[in-house]
Amino acid sequence: MKTYVQPGDRITVTAAAAANSGDGVLIGSLFGIAFGDAEIGEKLTLATNGVFNMPKPSTDVLAVGDPVYWDDTAGLATADDAAGANPAIGIAVTAAGNPSSAVNVRLNGSF
């Protein structure tokens, strides 16, 4: 196919902020998990789909199938969309109650 570029499960971007491997990274509407370390201005590869164990606020309660949002200020996956300020990034694939500090999230890869 003449217009095909790549599968899209990994996207290389220019880091707008320093990132460490495993960090959640939001650039505009693009969310992914950093595949390596990068300083501002360096190339950074993001995983845009798959299942990742992500930190969350310990008080958040998520059931399997619940939507998961990204709080970019806190750098955490969350159950709170903050009145639309936190973008949807995927769904919980494990239950995570209070006081757990992480949840497994299947990234939606569609943004």
Q: What is the pLDDT of residues 31-46, one digit of tens each?
A: 999 999 999 999 999 9
d(CA 105, CA 23): 13
pTM of the model: 0.93
Mean pLDDT of 57-78: 98
81-96: pLDDT as tens digits: 999 999 999 999 999 9
CA-to-CA dists, residue 12 to 16, 32, 43, 62, 108, angstroms: 12, 10, 6, 30, 18
Q: Share the mean pLDDT of the chain.
A: 96
pLDDT at 7 exceeding the cut of 80? yes
pLDDT at 110 over 70: no
